Amino acid sequence: MLVNGYWHRYGQHYRAIAKLSGPIMVAQLGTIVTGFADTMMVGHYNTPSLAAGSLVTTVFNLVILLSLGFSYGITPLVGALASQGDNRKVGTMMRHVAAANVVFGLVLMLASGAFYFALGHLGQPVEIMPLVRPYYIIIWLSMIPVILTHIFRQSCDAVGDTQLGMWIFTAGNVLNIVGNYMLIFGKWGAPELGLAGAGWSTLAARCFMAVAYVAAMLLTSRYKAYHEGIAQSRTSWHDIARVTRTSLPVALQMGLETGIFTFAMILVGWMGTKSMAAYQILLQVGTLGFMIYYAFGAGMAIKIAHYTGLGDKAAVSDAAHAGYRLTLAFTLLACVIFITTGRWIVAFFTADRAVIAIAVSMLVPLSLYQLGDATQVTYANALRGTGQVMSMLRVAVVAYLLIGLPVIPALAFLAGLGLAGVYYGFFVALLTAGILFCREFYRHLL
C-alpha cells in the first residue's frame, strides 16, 4: 500500500523527467564517447600531447561552462511561457535571450583570447608549451559555434524538444571521432597533425552542430510557430539586461564551480607531466557520471520551469524529489562501474604504465566526489527551474571560493595527499554546495 501510494504520487514525475532526460542523456553520452576518443587517441599519440591537451581543455571547460550556465537562464524564461501556450511570447523571449547570450559570448571570447598571453606564466611543464599554444588558438575559435549551439539547444530544450539535441550532438560527435582519427594520425591521405589535428576536428564538428540547429529552427514545422515572435519583436538593451539578471547568476555559479577544477589543473601541473596526463584521463572517466546526472538535472529543471509557470508548488517539490532520487541511483551505479572496471577503462587511454598507476590509485577519491557533485547538480537545476537564481551565486561563493579554493591545495600539499587531496577537496566543496542549494530551494518554495 505504501509503495502504491508513493508511486501514485511520484510516478508521473519519474516518467516525465526520464522522457525529457533520455534524449539529453544520449546526446551527453555521445559527448562522453567523443571525449573518450579524443583523450584515448591523443594519449596513444604521446604523453606530452595528452598533458598539453589537458591544460587547454581544462581552461576552456571554464569558458564552455560559463556560456552554458548563462544559456541555462533560458529554461525558466522560455519554459514558463511555453507551459502557458503563448507561442508569440515564446518567440519574443527566444529573441531576447539569444541577444543577451551573444553579448555575453563576446565577453567570454575576449577574456579567453587575452588569457592566451598568460599561458607561459602558469608554472606548467616547459616541454608541453609548444603543443599548448597552437591547440589553444584552434579551440578558442571553436568557442564561437559552441556559444551559438548553447543558445539554440537551451531554447529547444525549454519548449520540451530534447530529441533534436540528441540527433545533432550524435552526428557531431561521430564527425569529431572520424576527424580525430584522420588528422591526429594522418589516416586516409590526411596530414598527421597530432594534437592540433584533434583541435581542427573539434572545430569542424562544433561548426556542424551550430549550423544544424539553425537549419532545424528555420526549416522544421515545429518552430514556425515561434517565427512571428522572433521576427517582429524588437530587442533593446533593457531586454538584454532583464535576461541577464536571470542568466548571469547561473553562469557565475557554474563558472565558480568549474573554476576550482581549472585551479586544480594548475596545481596538478606543479606535480609533473605524468600527473597532468592522469588527471586528464580521470576528468574523462568522471564525465561519465557527470553527464548522466546532468541529464536528469536538466530534464527536472524543464519540468520545474513548466510547473512554476502554472503556479503548482506541490508539483515543483515532487519533481525535485523524483529528480534527486533518479540522479542518486545512477550516480551510485556510475561509482560501482568506476571502482570495478576503472583499471581497464584507464588502460584504453594510454600505454604509459606510470600514468595508468596514478590514475587507478585515484578511482576511489574520484567516485567519492561524484556523490557531492550529483547533489549540487540536482538542486542547482531545481533552483534554476524556479528562476530563483540569485541565491545560487551566494552559495557558489561560499562553497567554491571560501571553502573549495583553500581546502584543495591544503589537502593536496599541506596534508601531503597529492592528487588524492585534490579529489577530496572537490568532494568537500561540491557536497557543501549541494546541501546549501537544497536548503535554498525549499526555503524559496515554502
Q: Rounded mean pLDDT of 43-57? A: 72
pLDDT at position 290:
72
Question: Using CA atoms, how far apart are residues 306 and 317, in angstroms rounded to an integer?
Answer: 13
Largest CA distance in the chain: 66
Residues with Cβ < 8 Å from 286, sequence gap 6 or more?
A: 366, 369, 370
Confidence of residue 167 (pLDDT cuts 50, 70, 90): confident
Query: With b meaning 16 or more CB within 10 Å and e meaning fewer, what string describes 50-82?
Result: bbbbbbbbbbbbbbbbbbbbbbbbbbbbbbbbb
pTM of the model: 0.68
Compute CA 357 distance to the chain's CA centroid, rounded to the nearest angstrom: 28
374 vs 54, more confident: 374
pLDDT at 227 > cutoff 70: no
pLDDT at position 411:
92
pLDDT at 1 > cutoff 70: no
pLDDT at 17 > cutoff 90: no
Confidence of residue 432 (pLDDT cuts 50, 70, 90): very high
Amino acid (one-letter) located at 62: L
In terms of Cα–Cα distance, which of 407, 260, 430, 329 is closest to 438? 430
Q: Rounded mean pLDDT of 262-277? A: 79
Residues counted in the chain? 446
pLDDT at position 208:
92
For the chain, report the end-to-end CA distance as a whole number of angstroms: 29
Task: Cell 583523450: give the residue.
Answer: 39
Contact 278, 349 (CB under 8 A): no
SS3 of the chain: the string is CHHHHHHHHHHHHHHHHHHHHHHHHHHHHHHHHHHHHHHHHHHHHCHHHHHHHHHHHHHHHHHHHHHHHHHCCHHHHHHHHHHHCCHHHHHHHHHHHHHHHHHHHHHHHHHHHHHHHHHHHCCCCHHHHHHHHHHHHHHHHHHHHHHHHHHHHHHHHHCCCCHHHHHHHHHHHHHHHHHHHHHHHCCCCCCCCCHHHHHHHHHHHHHHHHHHHHHHHHHCHHHHHHHHHHHHCCCCHHHHHHHHHHHHHHHHHHHHHHHHHHHHHHHHHCCCHHHHHHHHHHHHHHHHHHHHHHHHHHHHHHHHHHHHHHCCHHHHHHHHHHHHHHHHHHHHHHHHHHHHHHHHHHHCCCCCHHHHHHHHCCHHHHHHHHHHHHHHHHHHHHHHHHCCCHHHHHHHHHHHHHHHHHHHHHHHHHCCCCHHHHHHHHHHHHHHHHHHHHHHHHHHHC
Compute CA 308 distance to the chain's CA centroid, rounded to the nearest angstrom: 24
pLDDT in tens, 92-103: 677 777 778 888
Confidence of residue 2 (pLDDT cuts 50, 70, 90): very low
pLDDT at 442 > cutoff 80: yes
Compute CA 256 distance to the chain's CA centroid, rounded to the nearest angstrom: 13
Contact 31, 279 (CB under 8 A): no
Residue 22 neighbours by CB distance under 10 Å: 16
Task: Cell 591521405: give the residue.
Answer: 189
Q: Rounded mean pLDDT of 215-222? A: 77
pLDDT at 26 > cutoff 70: no
| Angle (nearest 5°) at CA 169 between 332 and 86 | 95
Q: Where are the domains of the chain?
A: 2-445
Question: Using CA atoms, how far apart are residues 231 and 261, in angstroms rounded to an integer?
Answer: 41
Least trusted range by pLDDT, from 13-17, 148-152, 265-269: 13-17
Q: Rounded mean pLDDT of 82-90? A: 67
Question: Using CA atoms, how far apart are residues 234 and 434, in angstroms rounded to an integer?
Answer: 39
